[in-house]
Structure 1
Amino acid sequence: MSNSAIRTEHILVVDDDPRIRQMLIRYFEGEGYRVSAAADGPAMRDCLTKAGVDIILLDLVLPGGEDGLALARDIRSRSNIPIIMLTGRDDVIDRIVGLEVGADDYIAKPFHLREVLARVRSVLRRHQTPASKGDNETTESFCFDGWQLNVGRRQLFSADGSDIALTTGEFDMLCVFVKHAGRVLSRELLMDLTRSRNLGAYDRTIDAQVGRLRRKIERDPKNPTLIKSVRNVGYVFSARPTQD
């Protein structure tokens, strides 16, 4: 085992190619992770009902009438489990659609196993509550327009106290907006601040994340009042957050 520490994270690999499944299982088990695998949607759902899963590596092209995008949409409608899409098609449109349905990252085949490991670690690190930071950072909280954002615990609460599920990318995006309220942020700067460079330097990747975030926090996503577009530049967060 290349990593001396035994990890508790459970990875679910969903891919119809048995060679890729076995390769990822061997590699991540060698890194100390617990790994399960599924070849299609029904097997994936069966695994999700039997055991807690911390992250899903999901192939885009799958048999049985449900592709990875449909499965990602289904997962996201019921859960906030991080999703990394795997695909042999390095197409910008596929990448954008994957982000729009709630994927946290996107890796094109053929891939290097070390790259997959780095992406998994990055998404898990951003998704999980930091345990080693000081009390001030883990309890850092902001209020805006009836919303309460707890940065350390990675939670967003609406005015009625409901816990709003956000993907890793959506949460990171909201944190950046709240901490830079009133400042016009270019798409390039948003990529840097949200650590989204690995998603590809495409304006539409940021637009897709902003669109999903608007659907969750705006009263009318088609006429946003919190996250406003700045023509030919980027976006500005117009609310005035207060820090608890």
Structure 2
Amino acid sequence: MQISERTHHIALVEDDGALRTLLTRHLRQSGFPVRGYATAAEFKASAERFDLVVLDVMLPATSGLDLCRWLRQRSNVPVIFISARSSHTDRIVGLELGADDYLVKPVDPGELVARIRSVLRRSEDAGGADGGDYASVVRFDGWRMDRRRRELFAPEGSRVSISEAEFDLLNVFLDMPQRVIGRDTLLEHSRNRLTARDSGDRSVDVLVSRLRRKLGSIDGGRDLIRTVRGVGYVFTANVEA
């Protein structure tokens, strides 16, 4: 599926002025309206709404990690981290905070554009943008998920904050309930490929752990995702469209 014709607005939070100028110019040449910010405070003060945020990890004063936490409390907007930190642990931290991708500096502008397009494409695919008989509202174990609006509601009715990557992962489980799903399948269908090229990749396990915590955080909640050692996972609840 291609990205829809509507314009996608990008925020770039990067304190390195030269890099911010370079990436801003390349994004605009690639068709993305982009607004650059040097600090987290500048971004927070903005009243604009964005379809995706590119976020440097090592910002002055308030770090990119803290800004991502702040975003996740308020929005499900996709986040792509860019950072000089390249260790596997740093990437996992990004996952834990709800990032949707992680790109190591020096950043290749063409690769960043490709990552942005991939994240936006997966977001629209999961939202059922192509219409058809794709069930919009799905219920399981008292929970309700609206796939088109990309919203998740707990059994008592409260809206639960969920990242784009977590949403896509849950979508895969809801499409294949009570079946063993391998990690490769989950990685392929989820939008998060943070460490897919690394041997010993743990990105899917971290995403599953995050999703488990959220589904079990409500009073009386239970573990709906069972681990099948050496194979993958099973979503145990009955699913009703």
Q: Normalising to structure 2: TM-score of the pair?
A: 0.87
Task: Give the alignment partner of residue 117 of structure 1, picking from 104, 113, 119.
Answer: 113
Gaps of 5+ in 1: none
The residue number in structure 1 matching 2:203 is 205
Gaps of 5+ in 2: none
Percent same amino acid among aligned pairs? Answer: 40
SS at match of 1:178: helix
Is residue 152 from structure 1 mapped to residue 148 from structure 2 by the alignment? Answer: yes
| Greater Cα offset, 93-102 or 127-136 | 127-136
Answer whether contact 2:194 2:203 (CA < 8 A) is retained: no
SS at match of 1:78: coil
- Following superposition, the deviation at residue 195 of structure 1 comes to 4.5
Aligned length: 234
The residue number in structure 1 matching 2:65 is 69
Q: Distance in 2 between matches of 1:127 and 1:67?
A: 26
Read off the aligned partner of 2:56 and give its amino acid letter: D
Q: Distance in 1 between matches of 2:92 and 2:13?
A: 20
Residues 81-230 of structure 1 aligned to structure 2 (within 5 Å): 81-128=77-124, 133-137=130-134, 139-197=135-193, 199-200=195-196, 201=198, 202-219=200-217, 224-230=222-228
Q: What is the CA RMSD across the aligned residues, in angstroms?
A: 2.4
Residues 202-238 of structure 1 show CA distances to partners (whole Å, capped at 9, x for unaligned) of: 44211211122112212479x9520112223322111
Q: Distance in 1 between matches of 2:73 and 2:103?
A: 22
Relative to 1, partners in 2 of residues 1:6 and 1:232: Cα closer, same or farther, differing over 3 Å?
closer
The residue number in structure 1 matching 2:239 is 241
Answer whether contact 1:10 1:33 (CA < 8 A) is retained: yes
Q: Distance in 2 between matches of 1:39 and 1:28?
A: 17
Q: Distance in 2 between matches of 1:119 and 1:232?
A: 30
SS at match of 1:16: coil
Relative to 1, partners in 2 of residues 1:53 and 1:219: Cα closer, same or farther, differing over 3 Å?
closer
The residue number in structure 1 matching 2:10 is 11
Read off the aligned partner of 1:36 and give its amino acid letter: R
Read off the aligned partner of 2:182 and give its amino acid letter: S
SS at match of 1:196: coil
Q: Normalising to structure 1: TM-score of the pair?
A: 0.86
SS at match of 1:73: helix
